[in-house]
Amino acid sequence: MASLARVRLAGRAMPRTHLASSPALALSRRGVATTADTTQLQGALPESATEPFTLKLHEDSFQSYLCDTPSLDVSITKDELLTMYKQMQTMRRMEMAADALYKAKMIRGFCHLAIGQEAVSVGMEHGIDPNDRVITGYRCHPFAVLRGGTIKGVLGELLGRQAGMSNGKGGSMHIFTPTFFGGNGIVGAQVPVGAGAAFAQKYRGEKNCTFAMYGDGASNQGQVFEAFNMAKLWNLPTIFVCENNNGRSSNTQYFTRGDRIPGIQVNGMDIIAATQAVKYARNWAVDQDNGPLLLEFVTYRYGGHSMSDPGTTYRTREEVQRMRSTQDPIRGLQRYLEEWGIATEQDLKKLDKEAKAEVDKAVEEAKALKDLWTDIYYKGTEPTSMRGREREEVPLLLNAPLTSLRRLGVSGLSVERGWCRVLGVGA
């Protein structure tokens, strides 16, 4: 299975004929493993849920450029593994809820889901410090929750409701927490911003770093290279994180593209490998003060690029299905937990149910209250009336005395016809 996964990367890098004519190149393009279930338990499992034990990662979990690879020996506890499982399951449930709400036409506009990439978002959170900063592109929902937000806040934002973390004004790509500088709609624009945030951390002498994330698509943006250069020039604690879920560039070895910035390619489907790589990066930039590092997570997105992309024009349904059934990060972790005797199938089903219940509750809460009437005028300069768009946005006016409607310049007739679309302020 591991070898199959490795060929996948090479195969997508260039047309088959080209590959066949240059076997040496094909070999050099081999990537890391993208298996989710090849980590081995070392020694005996402790009784306590909080006592660390050792795991051994697959030897092809990492590839490095200008630096050593992270250790394959991982110290972890039962509790941490169970938390990872629950969080990945919750994140997937949230994205699935967003998918359903979008298809029900309750979420409009752009929406990019990260189903299949849970090992990266959750794995990152287990490797970093709460005060580290994260900034990413438009595929941002899980990070917003894991960095201190709520599922209700994310879904409310997608729905354009007041419960949203940006009061429903930002939408899918624009969600922030104090340590998460948001999703960003402009491809690649967040990367130099992340370098600036890292500079501020260094300037203040904080023992923290900034993870500036982008996708393989954004990796060709000029400003990504501008940010690489500044970060290396000034030795900033910036971890550039490329989530490679597609891989179409002249050089698909994204971890090598930082020029003099060392890089590590990581199996982004195994959450234990992902966490290990993030810990390594933190140590590199913060404890060792070695400057920037590039992390490439080789991962896989089950859905299309966005809701309007079926995701099957540039890859086959069979490929997606194979990844789902053989290399799913959640199923992989599930298998570890069961095989190593950390949890039973029933235990995990219970966690699944809890995740579903948590998301379902958040969906209902998020649906409440639209908030269209704020953030338009500077406080104290609001006009006496504002117009709405839809019939249900005018109910208070329809019940208002006719005199006050006349004062607003509304004729009774047009109100009765229901399309006058005027709303009194303070309503």
Q: Which residues bind other proteins (CB under 8 A)?
A: 133, 135, 164-167, 169-171, 174, 176-178, 181-182, 184-186, 189, 191-201, 203, 210, 222-223, 226-227, 229-230, 233-234, 375
Q: Is 74 helix (H, G, I), strand (E, B) or coil?
A: strand
Strand runs labelled E in 77-217: 133-135, 210-215
Let me know: does 329 contact 245? Beta carbons within 8 Å: no
Q: Is 73 helix (H, G, I), strand (E, B) or coil?
A: strand
Let me know: does 304 contact 272? Beta carbons within 8 Å: no
Residue whose C-alpha is closest to residue 330's, from 20, 36, 17, 14 = 36
Residue whose C-alpha is closest to residue 226's, from 259, 192, 251 = 192
Instruction: Tell me how far CA of residue 16 lies from CA of 8, 250, 252, 265, 319, in angstroms.
Output: 12, 15, 15, 23, 16
Cα atoms in the Cβ-side hemisphere of radius 13 Å centred on 366:
28
Integer Cα distance of 238 and 192 in angstroms: 10
Residue 133 C-beta: closest distance to other proteins, Å: 8
Integer Cα distance of 35 and 158 in angstroms: 32
Let me know: does 242 contact 297? Beta carbons within 8 Å: yes
Let me know: does 5 contact 33? Beta carbons within 8 Å: yes
Let me know: does 65 contact 259? Beta carbons within 8 Å: no
Integer Cα distance of 190 and 175 in angstroms: 13
Residue 96 C-beta: closest distance to other proteins, Å: 25
Instruction: Tell me how far CA of residue 368 lies from CA of 68, 364, 397, in angstroms.
Output: 51, 7, 21
Integer Cα distance of 111 and 98 in angstroms: 8
